[in-house]
Amino acid sequence: MVKATSDINPHLDSNLGVLRYINDADRIRAYLPNGGKILDWGCGRGQMTHLLKNRGFDVVGYDVDPMGKEFLNQIGQTLILGTDPVKLPFADNSFDAVLSSGVIEHVVDRNGSLAEISRVIKKGGYFFVFRLPNKYSYIEFISDRLGRGDHPVKYSRAQIKKLLNESGFEVETSRYQGFLPYNLKNFPALSRSLYHKLDIFWQFFDRLLTNCPGLNVLCTNIDLVACRK
């Protein structure tokens, strides 16, 4: 069983959450079996930078928030800290791929940021958009009603496909991901502990429900893989 705390990042507190990140990294590796240079745009605490580096990628961890600096330093990975919320400090056609994992919904200038991403990706390179909040997610709906939501911007699959197409990308695949919550944030400690102890049980049902046509429209996230035109 994967250990959530020591091997990846102490910020992640459930094996279900860790396995989702591992699956994301493996999916990127499947698209780029020969490796390449990839920008982890808005790398946060650095877990995906770490996982991609371990899969042989030349990874650049980039963010405007230094939250991941200490962790990345520990694994010998430098964090490039941006000073502009939109402009990227990289030359045109610098990367074989860019990863956006839970980032687009937080940017101040969505169109400007996507234009910058398109600029730094080589023609034919990949743009991986993972963990995008789903407009129809039941978890997002409940969180918002309880005042616990932190995603004011959410998307439908049609909306994000249209946006990426207008920004110079062609969407190759899109899918729903994550039916069950990976943690019980703000729940009592006993509830969280019991939930995490049944990780194997939840992993099985999460896969089952995520792949159930119709029902999976209520999943937490949308994942897309797009190619720069």
How open is the CA angle 14-154-128, to the nearest 5 degrees?
65
Instruction: Please report whether residue 215 resides in a domain.
Output: yes
Instruction: Please report whether residue 9 resides in a domain.
Output: no
d(CA 42, CA 166): 22
The total number of residues shown for the chain amounts to 229
**So what's the pLDDT on residue 80?**
96
Instruction: Please report whether residue 4 resides in a domain.
Output: no
- In SS3 terms, 132-198 reads as EEECCCHHHHHHHHCCCCCCCCCECHHHHHHHHHHCCEEEEEEEEECCCCCCCCCCCHHHHHHHHHC
Residue 104 DSSP label: G
d(CA 156, CA 179): 15
Number of domains in the chain: 1
d(CA 208, CA 145): 27
Instruction: Please report whether residue 188 resides in a domain.
Output: yes
Instruction: Please report whether residue 40 resides in a domain.
Output: yes
Q: List Cα–Cα distances, 128 to 6, 74, 227, in angstroms.
A: 26, 26, 9
- Residue position matching structure tokens 């493996």: 26
Range of the domain at 23: 15-228
Q: Which two tokens stand for residue 96?
A: 């074989």
**So what's the pLDDT on residue 2?**
31
d(CA 132, CA 176): 9
Instruction: Please report whether residue 100 resides in a domain.
Output: yes
Residue 64 DSSP label: S
Which segments in the chain show pLDDT lower than 70? 1-13, 183-187, 191-192, 195-196
**So what's the pLDDT on residue 18?**
84
**So what's the pLDDT on residue 189?**
74
Instruction: Please report whether residue 7 resides in a domain.
Output: no
Q: Which residues contact 158 (CB under 8 A, 6 or more apart)?
A: none
Give the CA-trace dihedral at 3, 215, 223, 28, to 10 degrees. 50
Instruction: Please report whether residue 61 resides in a domain.
Output: yes
CATH number of the domain enclosing 122: 3.40.50.150
Strand, helix or coil for residue 26: helix
